[in-house]
Amino acid sequence: MASSDPPQPAPAPATPPLPWRARLLLSAVSILHSAALRADGTANRFLLSLFDRTVPPSLAPDAAGVSSSDHAVTDHLRVRLFFPPPADGGTQLPVVVYFHGGGFVFHSAATAQFDALCRRLAASIPAVVASVDYRLAPEHRFPAAYDDGEAALRWTLAGAGGALPCPPAAVFVAGDSAGGNVAHHVAARMQRRVAGLVLLQPFFGGEAPTASELRLRDAPFGEPGRMAWVWRAFLPPGATRDHEAANVPAAIRRGGDQEWRAFPPTLVCVGGWDVHQDRQREYADALRAAGAEEAAVVEFTDAIHAFYVFEDHADGERLLRDVAEFVNRRAAEHLNCARSPSE
């Protein structure tokens, strides 16, 4: 006799759906980080360099028509510019100042995965992308990355040392993971000069663990000890993770409405397998509560932290479309406001 019980939903997967190449890369990264992050708070840069594959800029356009070049901003700060094919009719393209992820400690603008990501962003928006090679912790703690980010943004707004045909009309700030943290703080320093902010799974912290940090402690990039090491390497000596650089939602709530009403429109991308997802949603909630114009959240249910660096991840194309829609919509509104006689 057939059972009359209603069908039960399939159980949630115990691990995130990932291409096999991504699983291999994640396993290798985990082993490398464990070996390279020393107990005394220093990092084995030589060991990290063996794994961190870098690529040079390319003046020759790639298959998507994107070319790149490196530029010195100061004696210690460099920016890699990515140029998409010329726009039809000479349309002025937006510029995106981008900050790579890596826990404030790892990677550079030349890291192969971030070079490829910036190329995809430049082609899909389309926009000129300025990828910032900011200084890394623990050798350079807070606020070195923020200072470098502000310098790079000012350099871009002024025309990128002549690399742009003219000072750009609409400049966005963007970043992923720890680079998203840097992007937020740079945008906060120069709110009225930024047309919009794009944060891909930004890295925020706090002393009290969130539900997602407890639930996903074994997910990729979620191991509590490693997160604690990274924050100790970046924050001022003796600071806790409730410092304003880490616990950004709490800092926004303390700031009051007047401080955040001029904050640029913001898009936050959140992954369902990201240990940091609760803090990312809390960040958007705090901005909205403080009166910011827009703080939109886009959810990627099957996405782990840093899914955007894997070109074969199922959500990669959707992320590019969402970012392109946001940047182009806000660039058009920004330009319309700039042309308004009332301005």
For 219, other C-beta atoms within 10 Å of its C-beta total 18
Q: Which of 68, 108, 177, 212 is catalytic?
A: 177
- Amino acid residing at 95: V
Contact between 204 and 248 under an 8 Å Cβ cutoff? The reply is yes
Which residue(s) pair with 300 in the sheet?
271
Residues 6+ apart with CB under 8 A from 332: none
User: Shortest CA distance to 320 belongs to which of 147, 39, 126, 184?
Assistant: 126
User: Shortest CA distance to 276 belongs to which of 101, 37, 139?
Assistant: 101
3-state SS of the chain is CCCCCCCCCCCCCCCCCCCHHHHHHHHHHHHHHHHHECCCCCECHHHHHHHCCECCCCCCCCCCCCEEEEEECCCCCEEEEEECCCCHHHCCCCEEEEECCCCCCCCCCCEHHHHHHHHHHHHHCCCEEEEEECCCCCCCCCCHHHHHHHHHHHHHHCCHHHCCCCCCCCEEEEEECHHHHHHHHHHHHCHHHCCEEEEECCCCCCCCCCHHHHHCCCCCCCCHHHHHHHHHHHCCCCCCCCCCCCCHHHHHHHHCHHHHCCCCCEEEEEEEECCCHHHHHHHHHHHHHCCCCCEEEEEEEEEECCHHHCCCCCCHHHHHHHHHHHHHHHHHHHHHHHHCCCC
Identify whether 52 is a catalytic site residue: no
Q: Which of 52, 115, 133, 274 is catalytic?
A: 274
Identify whether 305 is a catalytic site residue: yes
Q: Which of 33, 243, 305, 334 is catalytic?
A: 305
Enzyme catalytic residues? 177, 274, 305
